[in-house]
Structure 1
Amino acid sequence: MEEKSILNIIQKVKQGETQAFNEIILLYEKQVFNLAFRIIKNREDAEEVAQDSFVKAYRRMKSFKGNSKFSTWLYRITYNNSLNKISANKRLGFSEELDDDKLDSSINNHGMKDLLDAERKDFIQKALTKMSPQENTLLTLYYQNECELKEIEEITGINRNTVKVQLHRARKRLEGHLQQMLKYEIESIR
Structure 2
Amino acid sequence: MEEKRILNIILKVKQGEIHAFNEIIVLYEKQVFNLALRIIKNREDAEEVAQDSFVKAYKRIKSFKGNSKFSTWLYRITYNNSLNKITSNKRLGFSEELADEKIGGSLLDDGMKDLLLEERKGFIKKALAKMSSQESTLITLYYQNECDLKEIEEITGINRNTAKVQLHRARKRLELNLKMLLKSEIESLR
TM-score, shorter chain, exceeding 0.5? yes
Structure 1 position 105 matched with structure 2 position 98 = no
Shift of 1:17: 1.1
Q: In structure 2, do the counterparts of structure 1 residues 104 and 78 end up closer, same or farther at CA, with 3 Å as the change threshold?
A: farther
Instruction: Report the secondary structure of 2:36's partner residue.
Output: helix
Distance 2:41 2:141 in 1: 15
Identity %: 80
- Quote the residue 1:118 is aligned against: 118
Shift of 1:12: 1.0
Distance 1:40 1:63 in 2: 27
Instruction: Give runs of aligned pairs for residues 120-135 of structure 1, distance below 5 A.
Output: 120-135=120-135
Instruction: Report the secondary structure of 1:110's partner residue.
Output: helix
Deviation per residue, 1:136-179 (Å, 9 max, x gap): 11000000011111111111111111111000000111111111
Deviation per residue, 1:104-126 (Å, 9 max, x gap): 52142221111111111101101
Deviation per residue, 1:53-101 (Å, 9 max, x gap): 00000111111000000000000000000000011111111011225xx
Distance 1:104 1:87 in 2: 27
Q: In structure 2, do the counterparts of structure 1 residues 117 and 89 end up closer, same or farther at CA, with 3 Å as the change threshold?
A: same
Distance 1:98 1:166 in 2: 22
Distance 1:154 1:11 in 2: 23
Q: In structure 2, do the counterparts of structure 1 residues 104 and 22 end up closer, same or farther at CA, with 3 Å as the change threshold?
A: farther
Normalising by structure 1, we get a TM-score of 0.96
Instruction: Report the secondary structure of 2:16's partner residue.
Output: coil
Number of aligned residues? 188
Instruction: Report the secondary structure of 1:97's partner residue.
Output: coil
- Quote the residue 1:8 is aligned against: 8
Output the amino acid matched with 1:69.
K
- Quote the residue 2:22 is aligned against: 22
Output the amino acid matched with 2:188.
S
Distance 1:127 1:35 in 2: 15
Distance 1:169 1:81 in 2: 25
Shift of 1:182: 1.5
Instruction: Give runs of aligned pairs for residues 63-74 of structure 1, distance below 5 A.
Output: 63-74=63-74
Runs of 4+ in structure 1 off by over 6 angstroms are none
- Quote the residue 2:154 is aligned against: 154
Deviation per residue, 1:24-79 (Å, 9 max, x gap): 11111111001001111111100000000000001111110000000000000000
Q: Which runs of 5+ in 1 are unaligned?
A: none
- Quote the residue 1:59 is aligned against: 59
